Amino acid sequence: MKILLKAICASVILLNVITGCTRERAVRRDEAEVLHENQDILTQVIIYDVFSPPVASRIYAYSSLASYEAIRFAKEGSPSITEKLNGFGKMPEPVPGKEYNYTLAATKAFFTVVRMVKVFSVDSLSAYEASVYGNFKETLDDSTYQRSVALGDTVAKTILARAKADGYVKSRGKPKYLGTSEPGKWRPTPPDYLDGVEWCWNTMMPMALDSAAQFMPPRPPKYSKDTNSAFYKGAKEVFETGIHLTEAQREIARFWDDNPFTIEHSGHLIMGKKKITPGGHWMGIAAIAAKQTHADPVKTARGYALTAIALYDAFIACWDEKYRSSVVRPVTVVNEMIDRNFVPFLQTPPFPEYPSGHSSITASASTVLTHLYGANFAFQDTSDLRYIGMQRHFNSFQEAASEASVSRLYGGIHYRLSVDEGARQGKKVGAHIIQRLR
């Protein structure tokens, strides 16, 4: 009987040990996955708050850099990114010999920055953060927890010092850009004739570029009604493409639309639809690449940071030219010269046409991701699956970028020259970032 009782007691003790270990393993999540979840909740908040694509890229850039600069100490020899960029102060470092959880530090840095760069849906963030921090508290001793949080907070403050001086606050006080009736120049487009978005984005301090105009594209074709002119032929191609779209082309245009806020009209009813931004789509692709290669937390954070920098600087370079040349959109030209009833397949976004923003930022991001993960990186793009129910397969990042670029022609919102020149500009931006950080 005593032997039986001892056996039962031993079994209970063993069960408690196993249960305790299982419980600890359950709360101690994969550290790279924590970074992915952090980025995912940010994308959801950006969609909900309806930030313009350039502004969204700024949020991604600062928060992703903060995350990387805090977690890089988890892998010896991982260099600072910000020390090679414009305008950042020296980043804080952990105290030698002290224990840290750098994923916790990265999470604290990430969300401190997110909150301070004017994300509005803080209630959604608070619930998520409470869950994440609670998880770390259960698995870390108090001193390690507090020390890690303090490091993340200090990194965030250093990042935010740069954000306060990057020109964003000043840009909020600029007057509206309403375009002009001058032939060939941009003016608000149907259906809602909104004023130009972020017309002074070229005044923002770039991360890696020497200036917004460093990779200025060639001058766009001169406006002309001559049916033999390059300008007219470009508009005619948009029209002909739009009225003969194949189902495959429609699917490509829908997949890469990435318009953060489209407005639909039905009689007197007006309905807005929120979607992922172009930058958010490529941050999603960065996540796919990291997960597919089982990248460690430091490489995961580096991938997010470099992709975000590529997006941010490409937006600055592209917007610099958009409002310099202020080229009229195809829908305006086609309605005036060819067919007044023409409606492009996609809703035209509210800013000038040349060059294509999608083409520029996707070429920049794909160049950086190719550098990180290789030229023949096949992947299933599920970035937008939960939002529009679509996914597509690509054999490389460059293939995805090329499809994103031509989708703007299929959508009826860009001339072919604009998508080609946008892609050239974006590749130059991405290559410059790689060279500068090498």
Task: Using pLDDT thresholds of 50, 70 and 90, give the confidence band for residue 27.
Answer: very low
pLDDT at 124: 77
Residues 77, 39 within the same domain: yes
Task: Using pLDDT thresholds of 50, 70 and 90, give the confidence band for residue 438.
Answer: confident
Q: Is it the case that residue 22 has pLDDT exceeding 70?
A: no
Mean pLDDT of the chain: 91
Residue 4 lies in a domain: no
Q: Is it the case that residue 403 has pLDDT exceeding 60?
A: yes
Q: Is it the case that residue 264 has pLDDT exceeding 50?
A: yes
Task: Using pLDDT thresholds of 50, 70 and 90, give the confidence band for residue 242.
Answer: very high
Task: Using pLDDT thresholds of 50, 70 and 90, give the confidence band for residue 261.
Answer: low
Residues 144, 190 within the same domain: no
Rounded to an integer, the average pLDDT of 222-229 is 98
Residues 140, 188 within the same domain: no
Q: pLDDT higher for 24 or 414?
A: 414
- Domain limits for position 181: 176-437
Rounded to an integer, the average pLDDT of 50-55 is 94
pLDDT at 11: 34
Whole-angstrom CA distances from 152 to 73, 143, 145, 161 are 12, 14, 11, 14
CATH of the domain at 265: 1.10.606.20
Least confident of 4-13, 136-145, 362-371: 4-13
Whether residue 159 contacts residue 90, with contact meaning beta carbons closer than 8 Å, is answered with: no
Residues 193, 263 within the same domain: yes
Residue 10 lies in a domain: no
- Closest by CA to 430, choosing from 314, 256, 321, 274, is 314
Q: Is it the case that residue 405 has pLDDT exceeding 50?
A: yes
pLDDT digits (tens, 9 = 90+) for 321-352: 999 999 999 999 999 999 999 999 999 999 99
Residues 111, 145 within the same domain: yes
pLDDT at 398: 98
Whole-angstrom CA distances from 429 to 184, 300, 371, 390, 433 are 28, 22, 13, 29, 6
Residues 137, 212 within the same domain: no
Give the rounded percent of residues in the chain with a pLDDT score beyond 70. Answer: 90
Rounded to an integer, the average pLDDT of 70-86 is 97
Residues in the chain: 438
Last residue of a domain, one of 134, 152, 168: 168
Question: Total domain count for the chain?
Answer: 2
Residues 361, 236 within the same domain: yes
pLDDT at 273: 64
Residue 269 lies in a domain: yes
Residues 150, 241 within the same domain: no
Residues 278, 341 within the same domain: yes
Task: Supply 376's token pair.
Answer: 């023949």
pTM above 0.75, yes or no: yes
Residues 96, 128 within the same domain: yes
Residue 425 lies in a domain: yes
For tokens 């301090």, name the residue. Answer: 205
Phi then psi dihedrals of residue 381, to 5 deg: -85, 100
Whole-angstrom CA distances from 186 to 46, 266, 278, 315, 327 are 28, 27, 22, 18, 5
Least confident of 162-176, 215-229, 242-256, 348-362: 162-176
Least confident of 16-25, 150-159, 255-264, 283-292: 16-25
